[in-house]
């Protein structure tokens, strides 16, 4: 179980997938939808190699169609959850949902965002990532982890090594700041990046600095109205 919630701070809110993905031989799974959770879990159980299956606690309140029959989602297969042509957002786990929300907001601005859900970070489906970057030339890697030595840095490195000529702008990493996860609202409300921060970065990439500045001011003004580490009033667990 990973993810933030209810002011639990660094004791229970850290995400350690980057650490495990660093170890050769381990396979690391991070679903974002109910359908993938079942299919990836079955594939993980059947896998002969050791698998670590990360579930973000906020995803336990997500509903979606799940077939009753037996099916698998292959390990090492990313999925395009939203097609676009202007900017690519590569995401995993709960950040995939934030990226999808950002894509909906940006569609109203006339900006087309492609969202790549990694589903597994080791093995990593680099071909799907590279194909999307070749199409858009702009990329944000959204990782629910710290920036320093995080998984987002690995994805950016792979993109730069393989698709340098396709890039129109430097890649952007959207991660947690390099500080311990806070417990108080006054700190945690400014700690976690989400869909609105993604929208700001995309607007900057597309040369909409004025729009980005206005959105950022609105975002900062509203940060303290409600706690940002609580999914919604109906969600109570699991912890």
Catalytic residues: 12
For residue 160, list its beta bridge partners: none
Q: Cβ-count burial of 177 within 10 angstroms (0-12 exposed, 13-18 middle, 19+ buried)? A: middle
Q: CA 226 → CA 24, 29, 186, 190, 223, distances in Å?
A: 42, 31, 10, 12, 7
Instruction: Provide the angle, in degrees to the nearest 10, between the axes of the packed helices 195-205 and 209-222.
Output: 160
Element (H, E) at 28: strand 27-29
Closest by CA to 232, choosing from 61, 71, 65, is: 61
Where would I find the H helices in 58-150? 94-107, 126-136
Distance, CA of 178 to CA of 145 (rounded, Å)? 9
């Amino acid at each position: 179980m990973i993810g933030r919630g209810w002011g639990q701070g660094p004791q229970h809110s850290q995400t350690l997938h980057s650490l495990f993905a660093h170890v050769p031989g381990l396979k690391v799974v991070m679903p974002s939808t109910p359908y993938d959770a079942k299919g990836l879990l079955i594939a993980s159980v059947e896998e002969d190699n050791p698998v670590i299956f990360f579930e973000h606690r906020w995803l336990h309140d997500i509903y979606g169609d799940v077939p009753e029959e037996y099916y698998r989602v292959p390990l090492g297969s990313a999925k395009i959850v939203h097609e676009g042509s202007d900017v690519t957002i590569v995401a995993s786990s709960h950040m995939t949902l934030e990226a999808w929300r950002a894509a909906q907001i940006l569609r109203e601005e006339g900006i087309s965002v492609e969202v790549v859900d990694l589903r597994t970070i080791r093995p990593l489906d680099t071909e799907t990532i590279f194909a999307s970057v070749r199409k858009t030339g702009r990329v944000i890697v959204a990782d629910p982890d710290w920036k320093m030595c995080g998984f987002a840095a690995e994805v950016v490195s792979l993109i730069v090594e393989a698709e340098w000529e396709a890039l129109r702008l430097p890649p952007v990493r959207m991660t947690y700041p390099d500080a311990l996860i806070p417990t108080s609202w006054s700190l945690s409300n400014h700690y976690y990046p989400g869909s609105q921060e993604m929208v700001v970065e995309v607007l900057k990439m597309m040369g909409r600095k004025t729009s980005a500045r206005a959105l950022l001011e609105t975002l900062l003004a509203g940060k303290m109205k409600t706690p940002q580490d609580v999914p919604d009033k109906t969600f109570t667990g699991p912890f």
